Structure 1
Amino acid sequence: MYLQTLLLRRLLQSVSPTWLPCRWLGGGEMSPSKLVRHWQSIFHDHGVPEPQESSEILIAHALGSKTFPSLPPSVAHTSVSVAQLRHIESMAQQRLKRVPIQYVIGEWDFLDITLQMRPPVFIPRPETEELVGLVLGASRRLQCSAEPLVLEVGCGSGAVSLSLLQRLPQARITAIDKTKAAVKLTEDNAVSLGLQNQIQVLLLDILADPPDPLLMWGPVDVLVSNPPYISTSDISQLDPEIVKYEDHAALDGGPDGMDVIRGILSFAPRLLKPGIFF
């Protein structure tokens, strides 16, 4: 106990006292639930969106779980260690700077897969999950081939393509993005999910590069994209998490928000099989 108290006091020397509960300052112990309330209050006071959710996710992650309710009783009712306190403090300071929670913990769940997350690659939103459902419905409705060829334009973290491969294991997917960071992250996520042999990831800018490399496997059955659609003048009005940390290229659709969409529409007829459009 003496050693734990000594380590805790040393930790406190490097932490702003205004962020710490009174019992910490006295060398007391803290449970996960008390830590959630503590950081929730701080996040709220500093204008961090969804303060309770942010607090629960950070603390659950530091304690080895995805969500706070899923903490095993043996962890939920045990005092947090000094090392865990230090880890929580480090993550919380990032969140106070409005770093997106996905970047802070380095991963995020999308449908039934867990993806690595690294800045500045665009973070998939819950609405993007609906896009996967639309693609699956379209592939059934259009009676695509037994081994459908899919092209995703602007793959980001690989969320859409890799989710499709989980549901269409016979598919072959080409995913493209114009940033090296996104291409690398999609490749890494494919490897971590064991899907690297079913997807090719290419560095390609549809507005600047010829689309011919996309026809390596022939015309595609499905073309899917969640393209930039926000007008350039509106980017600065977005949340700080987006403006400061996410890649603006994944959001900025030009003066009217339609630049990339027009580019996709212009080459889609050359890439899709006859009679198919999505």
Structure 2
Amino acid sequence: MRGCSFTAPPRDWRRLPPQPRSPRQAALPPAPPGAGWAPGPRGSRLCPRPRRESGGAARAALWRPHGLCSAGDLWQHQFQSLDSKSLHTPLTALQQEQIQQLSHKRLQRMPVQYVLGEWDFQDLTLKMRPPVFIPRPETEDLVSLVVEEEFQKCENSALCFPVPVPHPVILEIGCGSGAIALSLLRKLPQSRVIAMDKEEAAVDLTRENAHRLQLQERIHIIHQDVSHSCAKQLLLWGPIDVIVSNPPYVFHEDMASLDAEILRYEDLDALDGGDDGMRVIKTILALAPSLLKVSGSVFLEVDPRHPDMVEHWLQAQPDLLLTLRAVHEDFCGKPRFLHIQKQSSWQLCET
């Protein structure tokens, strides 16, 4: 489709059957009970995550409650490139030392993503290091929602040819490792992304991952706190089509109950959303109208208690011209993702 080229999901993309395992994956021993569990949003233990059988299945199998894994799991990841004959060869002294080092880190409650130094998100393998926030599995659905929305826009614009479809400009607030921004760049080849984070470690890691994936030409990375940002800084490519964020949304009173892996190693500012979990959410929404095109969208990952709170807050802020368009559930059936849209003043009056 002219002016609208990107990797579009199939119509029934949410119901695709599990993909067959590769010979190397099939040769791995069965995972012990509980291997299908994944840390829930922000590390809580919520529900079983269906096993992902596509790329990176060996690493995906390491998702356990709070990132737990056995020494055998670490061995599988560290030496998964060995052929079957090598699996029966005694470990060298160097290999034994590597396993001991990995196991020692894990015994110190270091999250397995930091132990391994990399992790899979969507179809990407990203570098990971503390204290940069570790992307959770459900956040992959946030990326899919943005891609689906762009696919729908592209379909609708087909009725208006020969008017070309502009290249979507996406802003990610709180980029962390770059998981969301880089996944969108990979799935939407015409897009450009502005990625911002207040932490220098996160900005550096996003930049490193962008270069590793050869996506650095279409991403502009900003070391900036959103609460101190102005529209002019973020409009270098013109008005924004989509703002996406997995902001800090844990209620402050819940922070103390987080797992030791999180409290010891991850950046707690990437988790703590203030008394109502909405401190950064409100900042993003207050800034959005000055950045978005009319009909532009904001996609947020939030706490299940937030959809009603956000809707009421927007209703009390009519000058923002933002409306809650949809609430989407995560794989546990929890209301987790918000789609908020900017409207013109006359559209708002009609609604």
Describe the shift of the 1:152–1:266 C-alpha distance in structure 2 as closer, same or farther (beyond 3 A). Answer: same
Aligned-partner SS, 2:205: helix
Q: Partners in 2 of 1:192 and 1:131 — Cα distance?
A: 23
Map residues 108-127 of structure 1 onto 2, 5 A cutoff. 108-127=119-138
**What is the alpha-carbon root mean square deviation over aligned residues?**
2.2
Q: Partners in 1 of 2:112 and 2:173 — Cα distance?
A: 26
Residue 148 of structure 2 corresponds to 137
Mark the structure with the bigger radius of gyration: 1
Residue 85 of structure 2 corresponds to 74
Q: Deviations for 1:246-272, whole angstroms, at most 9, x for unmatched residues? A: 000110101111000000110111111
What's the CA shift for 1:137?
0.9
Structure with the higher strand share, 1 or 2? 2
Residue 78 of structure 2 corresponds to 62
Assess if the C-alpha contact under 8 Å between 1:142 and 1:276 holds in 2.
Answer: no
Residue 196 of structure 2 corresponds to 176
Describe the shift of the 1:111–1:196 C-alpha distance in structure 2 as closer, same or farther (beyond 3 A). Answer: same
Structure with the higher helix share, 1 or 2? 1
Map residues 10-159 of structure 1 onto 2, 5 A cutoff. 49=65, 53-65=69-81, 72-143=83-154, 145-159=165-179
Q: Which amino acid aligns with 1:267?
A: L
Residue 217 of structure 2 corresponds to 197
Q: Deviations for 1:215-268, whole angstroms, at most 9, x for unmatched residues? A: 111111111011110012211210111010000011010111100000011011
Assess if the C-alpha contact under 8 Å between 1:62 and 1:84 holds in 2.
Answer: no
Give 4+ residue runs of structure 1 displaced > 4 Å after superposition.
48-52
Residue 17 of structure 1 corresponds to none
Deviates more, 1:133-142 or 1:198-207: 133-142
Describe the shift of the 1:63–1:260 C-alpha distance in structure 2 as closer, same or farther (beyond 3 A). Answer: same
TM-score (structure 2 length as normaliser):
0.62
Describe the shift of the 1:209–1:86 C-alpha distance in structure 2 as closer, same or farther (beyond 3 A). Answer: same
Count of residues in correspondence between the two structures: 230
Residue 270 of structure 1 corresponds to 290
Q: Partners in 2 of 1:200 and 1:77 — Cα distance?
A: 48
What's the CA shift for 1:49?
4.8
Q: Partners in 1 of 2:167 and 2:86 — Cα distance?
A: 46
Assess if the C-alpha contact under 8 Å between 1:231 and 1:254 holds in 2.
Answer: yes
Assess if the C-alpha contact under 8 Å between 1:149 and 1:222 holds in 2.
Answer: yes
Runs of at least 5 residues in structure 1 that lack an aligned partner in the other structure: 1-32, 38-47, 66-70
Q: Which amino acid aligns with 1:251?
A: L
TM-score (structure 1 length as normaliser):
0.77
Q: Partners in 2 of 1:49 and 1:265 — Cα distance?
A: 33
